[in-house]
Every structure is written in C-alpha cells, then in structure tokens.
Structure 1
Amino acid sequence: MKGLAAMKASARREEILKYLQAHQTGYTAELCRELDVSAMTIRRDFEVMAGQGLVTLIRGGAALNHGTSVVYSLKLRQTHLPLEKQRIAQRCADMVCEGNSVFIDCGSTAERIGEALRGKKNITVLTNSLDTAQVLSTAKGIKLIMVPGEFNEAIRGFTGLLTTDFIQRFRIDYIFLGANGIDASHGMTVPDYADAETKRVLIRQSRHVIVAADHAKLGSSYFEIVARLPEIEAIVTDSDADETIVQELRADGTEVILV
C-alpha cells in the first residue's frame, strides 16, 4: 500500500476502506505508515468517509460501519460499478414502449435508467429522485412528473406520507426499483424505513415490478423488507453475479436477467 501519497484522494480512500474491511478499525498512526501520508491527510479522509456513512470516528482513528441499518451516501454509490450499472439501465430502458407510464426510484442505478430513457418518445415518467428528475428535465417527448414528499438526503429523493398519498393516484406500467440488498430468504431489502414504505406502495400501484441491482447487492439483506421474491417480476443485474445466488433467486419463479 506504500506510495499512495501522490494518488487521488478517491483512490487513497478506497485503500483505506479495504484496510478497514480487513481490520474493522483503523488508527491514524497505522494508516500513516501503511499509506506513507501525513496524519492530517488520514484525518481528513476519515472525516470525508464519516460523511459518506462509511465509518464512525473514534479516538485516534475510525471504525467501519456495517449492519442492516447502514446506508452509504448516494455520491459514493454513484461511483461504484459504473459500466455494470449502465448495462443494467439500458436493459431496463429497452422494456419500455411508447405510451407506457414508468416510475423511476431513487438510487445510482435508477438514475442511469433515467439517462437511458432520454431517447424514448411519448412516455410518462414519474420519479421521487431529485437526480433523475434533473436528468430528464430537458428530455423531449417525455412527460415528467416530480413526486413530492419529505426530502431524504441519504437517497437524494422524496419519501413519506405525502409521497405515498400522491403515488396512489396513479396506475403505473413499469416500476424500476433500486435495492440495497436482495436475497432468496428476505427478498428485496433497504436500510431506511421511509424509503421501504414508499417502495411498498409503488409496488401495489405497478403492473410490472423490476428491480435493477448490480451483482454486489445480490445475497445481501438490510433492515427493512420491501418485497418478497414472488412480488418481483424480474431482477436485472450484471453478468458478474454469483451463479449460486442467481439460481436461488430464480427458484421462486422470479426472472433474473443478466446483462
């Protein structure tokens, strides 16, 4: 791990994260030696990572956050597996036909679905994602409906009672959901209860329920159960997905599409 002093901060923090995943806790003095950087640099990295939800600051260092109720910042997730998410998004967009109504959920993969839909004509897109709404705000041929609610900074979108009440006014052809985790035992799960309730209402209002999740989400589970596998029509994921997990997901009749 030596020689990272001149590397970009993002690359250095990736190395710090790998260290924490192996040791759970990292101290500033240790990481100074490992990375050959100053204590000030390590402390600054820890502060950034704490803001992303990755670590909790402790005396002299930081401890890795983990557990079913932990959610990392969307900015961090947007940089993870970009090519895989792009392929997933394009496959989801290919399902949509002229005249369809579509709901795009919050999340880094869902935002890319919005980008992939920009070339579609005569479709209606509803979203509670601030970033997806921005992506589609100048798209020609798409009627964009921004779903209201209480802003949730972690997912950069709107959730809560106002959101669910508004959603129940519509019947939606395709919903594209983002998931923090999905496995055979628990189905689709997320860390945030308000996000989970919003997703549950969306599922009830939709004809086709599609989960868009890269392979890193498969086999994981989080605090709130959103939907069991029989409620999910299809999971679109990338071809690096673990074959055993894919077969477990398919066992209950859910289609798993590899791209």
Structure 2
Amino acid sequence: MKSDGRRQGIMDFLMDAGTASVDDLASRFGVSKMTVHRDLDELEESGFLRKVRGGASIQPSGLFESDFRYRQKQAAEEKQRLAAAAVAMIEPGQTVIIDDGSTAGGIAGRLADLRPLTVISNNLAVIQELAGVGGITLIALGGQYSKKFHGFFGLLTEDMLKSLRADVAFLSSSAIHGASAFHQDQEVVQTKRTMMAVAARKYLLVDHGKFGRTALHFLTDLRAFDTVFTGRELEPQVREALDGAGVSLTVVGNKD
C-alpha cells in the first residue's frame, strides 16, 4: 500500500476506534513501526490527529479538535434532539446562519417545513445538503477550505460575513468551561465571533459532554447567547454555576 492510501487507512481506522497503538497499526497495515511513526508525524503535522504515548488519537483535547467526520459520530442521537429544538427558533422568511460545527450542522436537514428561508453557512456539509433545494436561498461563504473542519475560514469568509445580516445564528463549540465557550482553533473562533456579530439572535448547541472541558482559545461568554441548548441534565454544581452567571440554558431531554 502506498503512503497516501495507508495514511487514509489509518484515519479511517481512527474514525471508528478513536485511538490506536503503533504496534496495532504496524500489524494492521503490514509495515514497520518506524513507517507508522512517519505516517503519524505527517498526519499530526497536517492537523488530523495527535500522537500520544505509544500511538495516536483522534479524540479531542484542550489543544486539538477532532476531525469533522469523527465529531459527526459522537452523541449523534443527542445532536438530533438539539437540532429539532433549534428549528423551533426559526420562522419562515428569516435569514439563518449555520456554523461549521457538526451539532449546528444537523439543523440543515430540518429546514424544509420552514421555507422560504435564506441560509448562510461556511459548513460544506450544510452547503451540499441545501444546494438546489427549492425555497432555500443559499449563501455559501467562501474562503480557505479546511478538510479537518469541513468548512471555509479566513479573511475572505469574515469579509463576506461582515457584508451580511441575519435574524438568527446557530453555533457549536468544542468546550464549555465555567460560563464560557472555548475552541482549539483561532481561525474557527474568529469566524464564529463574526457570525455572532451579524446576527440579531444567537443560539449555542452543545452536547452535554462538552461541559467541564476547556480548549486553547476563548470564544465568548455564554451570556452572549439568547439560549444555550444541551441534551442532558448537567451536574448540579455545573448547572448552579451557569444559573448564577445568568446563562440561559435549555435542556432538551429524551422523550422516551
């Protein structure tokens, strides 16, 4: 197997497993451990994984945000409940921003009953899902494409956003610590902040596993959102801290 195919194979395996040891990867792909180390170095440099002692991981950390495809698989049922609750905040005829996050991105497939709508997004999955859909005016934000985040970022993205206005914006975040949202990537942070600045109402959608975590870059105080949606009751001390800070939190429970 050539190096490009093997590295893609490593990523495909990590999408399912989350972590893998060098020994396991060497055995799986029939190469030396030194070759695996070189592959992991290349993938880490490109931002697709992080090397850990004895192997590699695609799971997020304070400095690393996992690949979009991996994030799509995490807490999938909870994210669908959050998306269903979020669309109740939209009225036909409005202009809606959807960010790059896998949680906010789940809204796209639920917009048909609310047409006509204008949708602004830098999320390639959202753009592909809504392209050509009747009753949806789609504004696809350009910029530099990130394979890792499956979206567009940078100065072009931000300049385009600054020329627009929206009724409502739906955002996701990789970590919630205290009453603040954080993210590992500074370009992603800047794009999200610009989305918030051009929207009249702002909602954050985060699965319950994001609470109690932190990441490198401060995104915003949670009070900047009209409501923070999550899919499961939080630990009492976490909920008390949010309530004490004046954060509006909506828990979208499982009806079963």
In which range does the TM-score fall when normalised by the shorter chain? 0.7 to 0.9
Q: Confirm or deny: 8 A CA contact 1:89 1:112 kept in the other structure.
A: yes
Residue in structure 2 matched with residue 129 of structure 1 by the alignment: 123
Residue in structure 2 matched with residue 201 of structure 1 by the alignment: 194
Amino acid at match of 1:245: V
Which runs of 5 or more structure 2 residues have no equivalent in the other structure?
Answer: 1-11
Structure-2 change in CA distance of 1:55 and 1:243 (3 Å): same
Residue in structure 2 matched with residue 5 of structure 1 by the alignment: none
Question: Whole-Å Cα distance in 1 between the matches of residues 47 and 16 of structure 2?
Answer: 11
Amino acid at match of 1:221: T
Q: Confirm or deny: 8 A CA contact 1:183 1:249 kept in the other structure.
A: no
Q: Confirm or deny: 8 A CA contact 1:106 1:129 kept in the other structure.
A: yes
Question: Whole-Å Cα distance in 1 between the matches of residues 247 and 64 of structure 2?
Answer: 27
Structure-2 change in CA distance of 1:79 and 1:10 (3 Å): farther
Amino acid at match of 2:164: F
Residue in structure 1 matched with residue 102 of structure 2 by the alignment: 108
Give RMSD over aligned pairs. 3.0
Question: Whole-Å Cα distance in 1 between the matches of residues 50 and 156 of structure 2?
Answer: 32
1:227 aligns with 2:251: no
Question: Whole-Å Cα distance in 2 between the matches of residues 168 and 52 of structure 1?
Answer: 28
Q: Confirm or deny: 8 A CA contact 1:104 1:110 kept in the other structure.
A: yes
Question: Whole-Å Cα distance in 2 between the matches of residues 126 and 12 of structure 1?
Answer: 28
Could you tell me the TM-score, scaled by structure 2's length? 0.79
Structure-2 change in CA distance of 1:141 and 1:248 (3 Å): same
Question: Whole-Å Cα distance in 2 between the matches of residues 128 and 12 of structure 1?
Answer: 23
1:70 aligns with 2:43: no
Matches within 5 A, 1:123-162: 123-162=117-156
TM-superposed deviation, 1:247: 2.8
Matches within 5 A, 1:1-259: 14=17, 17=19, 26=21, 28=23, 38=27, 40=29, 53-56=48-51, 61-64=54-57, 67-185=61-179, 187-259=180-252
TM-superposed deviation, 1:243: 3.6
Q: Give per-residue Cα distances to partners, 1:214-238, cap 9 Å, x unaligned.
A: 0111121111111112212211110
Structure-2 change in CA distance of 1:137 and 1:252 (3 Å): same
Structure-2 change in CA distance of 1:137 and 1:243 (3 Å): farther
Structure-2 change in CA distance of 1:158 and 1:206 (3 Å): same
Q: Give per-residue Cα distances to partners, 1:39-73, cap 9 Å, x unaligned.
A: 64897999699688444177xx3155764221110
**Segments of 4+ moved more than 4 angstroms:** 9-13, 37-52, 63-67
Question: Whole-Å Cα distance in 1 between the matches of residues 97 and 89 of structure 2?
Answer: 13
Q: Confirm or deny: 8 A CA contact 1:101 1:173 kept in the other structure.
A: yes
Structure 2 counterpart SS, 1:68: coil
Question: Whole-Å Cα distance in 2 between the matches of residues 106 and 99 of structure 1?
Answer: 22
Identity over aligned residues, as a percent?
25
Structure 2 counterpart SS, 1:167: helix
Structure-2 change in CA distance of 1:203 and 1:216 (3 Å): same
Q: Confirm or deny: 8 A CA contact 1:163 1:198 kept in the other structure.
A: yes
TM-superposed deviation, 1:239: 1.6
Structure-2 change in CA distance of 1:56 and 1:238 (3 Å): same
Amino acid at match of 2:186: Y
TM-superposed deviation, 1:139: 2.6
Question: Whole-Å Cα distance in 1 between the matches of residues 57 and 109 of structure 2?
Answer: 33
Amino acid at match of 2:122: N
Q: How many positions carry a matched residue from both structures?
A: 234
Which runs of 5 or more structure 1 residues have no equivalent in the other structure?
Answer: 1-8, 21-25
